[in-house]
Amino acid sequence: MDKNIFLVLVIVCIITHIIRSAYEILKYKKILNANKFTFVIMFINMILLWVSWFVLCAIDIHRIELAGIIRYFGISLVGIGIIIFLMALFTIKTLESYEGDLITKGIYSIIRHPMYLGFILWLIGLPIYFGALFSFILSFIFIANILFWRYLEEIELVERFSSYMDYKIKTIF
């Protein structure tokens, strides 16, 4: 039974990443505009993605025993990722459809894409904490996917803000 639940969670994680990537591509190609409806759909998708990821890591059927210090390093990455994500959220005060000026204050004065960085830290840290070998390997595919989202967003931001290239030079990620 655990293998079946594990497999379902892997499929859910993959499908939610595919849905988010399709959304980003459709936005980039200007086929789809971000609005309240798409926000609700993507918000539900991302909640499903992260809940399924957390549970997947916890019940991963391919485990390795890691030293306590390494496990604590993993949970520290998750904690740092959550803090970075929340700092970004409280700075930008929205999850989608931001129409204002380029945000360069708060965490955005250091990191261009703090929410994506937070996601990546979760993806790496959680499998380390749980010693979840399959989830750890899967996280690299998901990280590549997040980097793809970031790539599309960078193209949009360069087109949208004339000062973006200067901002990009002064910040990381």
Beta bridge partners of 63: 132
pLDDT number for residue 162:
94
SS3 per residue for 106-151: HHHHCECCHHHHHHHHHHHHHHHHHCEHHHHHHHHHHHHHHHHHHH
Cα dist from 159 to 6, 28, 72, 81, whole Å: 42, 11, 41, 28
What pTM does this model have? Answer: 0.91
Return d(Cα 37, Cα 27) in angstroms, integer: 14
Mean pLDDT by 10 residues, the chain (173 residues): 90 97 94 88 94 96 96 98 94 71 93 97 98 97 97 94 95 96
Protein fold of 2-170: Four Helix Bundle (Hemerythrin (Met), subunit A) (1.20.120)
Sign of CA dihedral 78, 86, 27, 35: positive
Return d(Cα 58, Cα 77) in angstroms, integer: 16
pLDDT number for residue 25:
96
- Cβ–Cβ under 8 Å, residues 52 and 12: yes
Tell the burial category of 35 from Cβ atoms under 10 Å away from its Cβ (0-12, 13-18, 19+). Answer: exposed
